[in-house]
Structure formats: C-alpha cells, structure tokens
Amino acid sequence: MIGIFGGTFDPVHYGHIKPALSIKAALNLSQLRIVPNSIPPHRDPPWLSTEQRLLLLKSALADHADVIIDERELKRGGASYMIDTLRSLRGEFPDEDLCLIIGMDAFMGITSWFEWQSLFALCHLVVTTRPGFEQSEWMDQMDAEDHQFLSARMVGHVDALTPHETGKILLQSVPQLDISSTEIRAGLLNNDDVRQWMPERVYQQLREIKL
Ligand code: ATP
C-alpha cells in the first residue's frame, strides 16, 4: 500500500514528519509520498515561497531516503485538488492500493473538498490524531447524510483495511505533537524558541531565509 501525505508545509515541522513516519511503520507501507501543494494565485500566498517550502521539506527528510517527496502538485500548478493527485497516482501505480493520510483537523473539513465522496473510490483514508482536535464533537454536529457516509466506512484496526482496495477510514493514534506551521511562523517573528519542533538543519535554513 502506498501512503500519500499532502500539505502546505509552510514550514515543515515534526508534527508532519513523526505522524507520517509512524503511519508508514504501522501500515507497513511500500511507499510514503509527501505531496506539497501548489497555492492558486487568487489565495493568500504562503509565508515561504514554493522553492523554500520544498527546500526545507527535502532537508527535513534527508535522513529518510525511503520517503518520496512527490512534486506533482507543484508541477501541475494552479489549485491543488487531492482528487486529481489520487487519479494521477492511481494511473501511475495501478497494482497498488493507495491510502491518503490526513490529520484530524483536515478530516473535519473533508466534506468541503472538491469531489470529496469520489476520494473513497480511489483510496483508503487514514486519519491521524492531532492535539486539540477531537473527532466526536465534530461528527455529532455534521449533516446526517454525510455522517452516515463517513461512519459506514470507519474501521477499528489496520488489518480491516487490507481486505478492501479502497473506501475505508481508519483513525490511527500517532505521536502527539501540539504544534502547527502557524505557531512556528508566529514564533519566529516573535523570537520565540521554535527550534525543538524541527530538525536542526531545517531550523538553521529557516532562520537564514527569514532573519
Ligand atoms: P498551518 O498552521 O499553516 O495551517 P499545519 O501545521 O496545520 O499548517 P499543513 O501543512 O496544513 O500543516 O498540514 C499538512 C497535514 O499535516 C494535514 O493533514 C494536517 O492535519 C497534518 N498535521 C499538521 N500538524 C500536525 C500535528 N501537529 N499533528 C498531527 N498532524 C498534523
């Protein structure tokens, strides 16, 4: 099974890397593909340029030669829709199952994703725990039809994914790191110590870029 972990990575931090690596191990993934998104011109640009986001991501994963940084959304440009990325990967790897890895905060917004229900015909979804985001409150408040659609797909254990090629949702506990790129950006501007949240060389490069 191939794992796909998308994000803006503005900048990358341990809250991205550690959960993604823990899923790679827990699901015994044949590949872990990290997919930085491209930002459409009509939205606020990220704090870092595309080149800087990519540079830091490469640097953060330099010790993990088995993790692939997949640049297809950057090359495609424009709005990055996960459905397009999954279709592209499906075409490239027709014989492998795909699983999309997202944090609980991203899962809470999934019903607003472009063609969101079609995602489940292409991949499994693995939702990782994230401090500050509890599933129960959110699911209780959602539209009944969407609730039914999602809850019917939930499985309780990794082994329940493999008999199916696509369409299941697994909630998986991962190392809990209470950090976000937003807090790192604010911390750097405030001169707070954000060093602990990323590999040292990423921190040094980030300081060079921003100070
Ligand atoms: P920002 O603060 O700029 O919104 P972010 O830190 O949430 O950024 P993204 O690049 O938007 O990072 O997230 C990419 C993916 O990583 C998402 O699926 C998100 O849920 C997940 N993620 C980010 N931070 C954590 C964390 N601390 N723990 C678990 N998952 C996380």
Q: What's the pLDDT tens digit per position in 10-43?
A: 999 999 999 999 999 999 999 999 999 997 667 7
Residue 172 falls within a domain, yes or no?
A: yes
The tally of domains found in the chain comes to 1
Give the pLDDT of residue 17.
97
Percentage of residues in the chain having pLDDT higher than 70:
98
- Domain-embedded: residue 201: no
Residue 139 has pLDDT above 90, yes or no: no
Q: Note the pLDDT of residue 2.
A: 98
Q: Is residue 93 part of a domain?
A: yes
Q: Whose CA is nearest to atom 21 of ligand 1?
A: 103
- What tokens appear for 105 in the block? 């905060």
Domain range enclosing 118: 2-176
Q: Is residue 187 part of a domain?
A: no
Q: How do 2-7 and 31-36 pair as beta strands?
A: parallel
Nearest ligand 1 atom to alpha carbon 46 = 3
DSSP-H helix ranges across 112-180: 135-141, 144-151
What local confidence, expressed as pLDDT, does residue 134 receive?
A: 81
pLDDT score of 99 more than 70: yes
CA distance 192 to 87: 41
Cα(89) to ligand 1 centroid in Å equals: 22
Identify whether 63 is part of a domain: yes
> How much is the CA Rg of the chain, to the nearest whole Å?
17
Chain mean pLDDT for the chain: 94
In a domain, 79, yes or no: yes
Residues with CB under 6 A from ligand 1: 7-10, 15-16, 19, 102-103, 105-106, 128, 130, 177, 179-182
Q: Which of 116, 176, 188, 177 is nearest to 150 (CA)?
A: 116
Question: Is 5's pLDDT higher than 90?
Answer: yes
Q: What is the pLDDT of residues 151-182, one digit of tens each?
A: 999 999 999 999 999 999 999 999 999 999 99
Residue 100: C-alpha distances to residues 67, 178, 209 (Å): 15, 22, 31
* % of the chain with per-residue pLDDT over 90: 88
Indicate if the pLDDT at residue 116 is higher than 80: yes
In a domain? residue 192: no
Name residue 2's beta-bridge partners.
Answer: 31, 98
Task: Please tell me the distance between residue 170's alpha carbon and the centre of ligand 1 in angstroms.
Answer: 18
Which of 9, 70, 74, 130 should be mutated for ligand 1, with most atoms under 8 A from CB?
130
Identify the CATH number of the domain in which residue 148 sits.
Answer: 3.40.50.620
Residue 28 lies in a domain: yes
| Residues 6+ away with beta carbon under 8 Å from 71 | 36, 54
pLDDT of residue 167: 98
